[in-house]
């Protein structure tokens, strides 16, 4: 057996005559002098655990030439002893169960060694490969009293644990009716969604075996079959499973077989089902946002969702992400919204969830709808249609002329901007304000040009009976 530790290899440092190994900054090993050209050693750290190691090379003058990058190294030790060894009596056999150790010494358990005893004297040894927690010890003499002890070793250097204490005593009996011996596991395969096929070899028993039970890990899903191969259904696609098989006769079930190889039933080529809608929660006033929670759809045999999309109604505004919650932005204040959620995987997008609760946000007003700009003497009067108030009453409107930026403010349409330059063409935009803030400007109005002495809309018409009709801006008659 190799010493406990690790084999260290490296690329030789030109001119090096010795090397040191440091654990967490402290030198713990010096390679002998004359080690120039060396590229491997077996080092026994003597410490169980995980440490950071570095290696330094020295030349003949004792000067450090180079230092390696740190390497994390877990020292391998013997595993703990298996526990809870329980024996039962069979016909020249003894079915055994035990609890594997949780402390494996830093390396997976490789094998269990079981020794039979008569009167405290070792008789025979049998081995079973891991993973296992049961075994049927064979070749015993009926009528003889036996006890058993168990030990295990791990995969690196085969470090062996201590042997357990004696099991309970059992006496195999000739011709006794006993439960069957555990079947020998074969191969599991899963070419079809939702199920697996498991092969195994039964061991003849007295009384005769009636049937077999296949049990999955994870899930503890079970299927009773008449023989090998057996099919187990109800598996979740995309989940990795192993299986154990038990034999049953009139006396009961055998111990379980060793675990099979792992298999994963394939997904069906279908889109996800509908998510379950949660709660829609409006964001802070003025943000125009709502957070929508939901639950992933129930398993339907297809691949899991890769993304979700929340959609508002009205408006059709969306937010997409990997999971709940999702935040929809750009919503208007004062409008009642509901939301639905869909899930998408590689096969497409599934149906929408039920609609959420209603959410009505409070935001700044929307943009007014521009009307007509009518010029006067150094002024322009502009009409508009009030917008959606964002869920809060509009307190004022502001009209802004371009060029120049002169403004007029008032509670309603129209707004009259004064102080403009006659002969200059202007356009006007309107915006609304409520308790949350000021919304966006409207589109620009038509071009209007103020003029001294009258508006461009004034018309004077003479009739046949010597009457004069004035229409448009009548201020020119004042």
Q: Kindly state whether residue 287 falls inside one of the protein's structural domains.
A: yes
248 and 305 together in one domain: no
Angle at CA of residue 264, ends 261 and 270, nearest 5° = 170
Q: What is the CATH number of the domain that holds 324?
A: 2.60.40.10
Q: How far apart are CA 323 and CA 321, in angstroms?
A: 6
Give the dihedral sign, CA 227/228/229/234. Answer: positive
Answer whether residue 472 shows pLDDT above 50: no
Q: Kindly state whether residue 200 falls inside one of the protein's structural domains.
A: yes
Answer whether residue 465 shows pLDDT above 90: no
Say if CB 58 and CB 112 are below 8 A apart: no
Answer whether residue 461 shows pLDDT above 60: no
Question: Residue 202: pLDDT band by 50, 70, 90 thresholds?
Answer: very high
Q: How far apart are CA 240 and CA 286, in angstroms?
A: 49
pLDDT score, position 40: 63
pLDDT score, position 278: 97
Q: How far apart are CA 399 and CA 441, in angstroms?
A: 9
Say if CB 289 and CB 365 are below 8 A apart: no
For tokens 């080529």, the residue is 269
Tell which phi-psi region holds residue 431, choosing left (phi > 0), alpha (psi between -120 and 50) or beta: beta
| Domain membership of residue 207 as a residue range | 184-253
pLDDT score, position 88: 85
Q: How far apart are CA 438 and CA 8, in angstroms?
A: 72
Taking residues 27-36, report their average pLDDT. Answer: 64
14 or 289, which is more confident: 289
Percent share of the chain, pLDDT over 70: 83
Q: Kindly state whether residue 475 falls inside one of the protein's structural domains.
A: no
229 and 204 together in one domain: yes
Q: Kindly state whether residue 447 falls inside one of the protein's structural domains.
A: no
Q: Kindly state whether residue 385 falls inside one of the protein's structural domains.
A: no
Mean pLDDT of the chain: 86
43 and 102 together in one domain: no
Separate counts of helices (H) and strands (E) for the chain: 0, 36
- Within 8 A by CB and 6+ apart from 111, the residues are 127, 128, 129, 130, 152, 153
**Most confident region among 44-58, 211-225, 248-262 by mean pLDDT:** 211-225
293 and 354 together in one domain: yes
Q: How many domains does the chain have?
A: 4
Q: Kindly state whether residue 134 falls inside one of the protein's structural domains.
A: yes
70 and 106 together in one domain: no
29 or 428, which is more confident: 428
Q: Kindly state whether residue 87 falls inside one of the protein's structural domains.
A: yes
pLDDT tens, position by position, 130-152: 888 889 899 999 989 999 999 99
pTM of the prediction? 0.52
pLDDT tens, position by position, 140-196: 999 899 999 999 998 765 678 999 999 999 988 876 677 888 999 999 999 999 999
Domain end, chosen from 360, 375, 400, is at: 360
pLDDT score, position 453: 74
Give the dihedral sign, CA 401/405/406/409. Answer: positive
Say if CB 325 and CB 371 are below 8 A apart: no
pLDDT score, position 246: 95
Question: Residue 1: pLDDT band by 50, 70, 90 thresholds?
Answer: very low
Percent share of the chain, pLDDT over 90: 63
Helix runs in 66-181, H state only: none
280 and 354 together in one domain: yes
């Amino acid at each position: 057996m190799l010493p406990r530790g690790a084999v260290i290899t490296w690329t030789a440092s030109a001119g090096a005559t010795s090397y040191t190994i440091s654990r967490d900054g402290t030198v713990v090993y010096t390679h002998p002098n004359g080690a120039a050209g060396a590229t491997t050693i077996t080092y026994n750290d003597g410490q169980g655990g995980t440490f950071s190691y570095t290696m330094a090379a020295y030349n003949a003058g004792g000067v450090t030439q180079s230092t390696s990058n740190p390497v994390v190294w877990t020292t391998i030790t013997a595993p703990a002893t298996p526990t809870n060894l329980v024996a039962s009596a069979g016909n020249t056999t003894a079915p055994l169960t035990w609890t594997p150790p949780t402390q494996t010494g830093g390396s997976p358990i490789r094998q269990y060694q079981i020794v039979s005893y008569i009167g405290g004297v070792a008789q025979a040894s049998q081995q079973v490969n891991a993973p296992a927690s049961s075994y049927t010890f064979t070749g015993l003499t009926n009528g003889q009293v036996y006890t058993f002890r168990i030990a295990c070793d791990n995969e690196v250097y085969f470090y062996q644990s201590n042997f357990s204490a004696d099991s309970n005593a059992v006496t195999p009996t000739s011709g006794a009716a006993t439960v069957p011996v555990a079947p020998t596991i074969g191969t599991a395969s899963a070419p079809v969604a939702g199920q697996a096929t498991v092969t195994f070899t039964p061991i003849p028993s007295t009384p005769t075996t009636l049937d077999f039970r296949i049990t999955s890990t994870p899930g503890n899903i079970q299927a009773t079959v008449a023989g090998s191969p057996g099919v187990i259904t109800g598996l979740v696609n995309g989940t990795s499973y192993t299986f154990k098989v038990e034999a049953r006769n009139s006396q009961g079930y055998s111990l379980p077989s060793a675990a099979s190889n792992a298999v994963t039933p394939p997904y069906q080529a279908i889109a996800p089902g509908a998510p379950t809608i949660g709660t829609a929660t409006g964001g802070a006033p003025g943000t125009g946002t709502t957070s929508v929670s939901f639950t992933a759809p129930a398993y339907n045999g297809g691949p899991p969702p890769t993304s979700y999309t929340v959609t508002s109604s009205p408006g059709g505004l969306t937010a997409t992400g990997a999971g709940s919650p999702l935040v929809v932005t750009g919503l208007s204040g004062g409008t009642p919204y509901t939301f639905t959620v869909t899930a998408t995987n590689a096969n497409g997008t599934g149906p929408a969830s039920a609609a959420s609760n209603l959410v009505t946000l409070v935001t700044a007003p929307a943009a007014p709808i521009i009307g007509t700009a009518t010029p006067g003497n150094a002024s322009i009067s502009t009409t508009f249609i009030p917008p959606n108030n964002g869920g809060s009453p509009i307190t004022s409107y502001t009209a802004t002329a371009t060029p120049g930026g002169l403004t007029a403010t008032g509670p309603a349409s129209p707004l009259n901007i004064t102080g403009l330059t006659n002969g200059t063409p202007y356009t006007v935009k309107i915006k609304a304000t409520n308790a949350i803030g000021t919304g966006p400007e409207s589109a620009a109005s038509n071009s209007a040009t103020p003029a001294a002495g009258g508006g461009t809309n004034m018309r004077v018409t003479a009739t046949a009976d010597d009457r004069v009709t004035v229409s448009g801006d009548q201020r020119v008659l004042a």
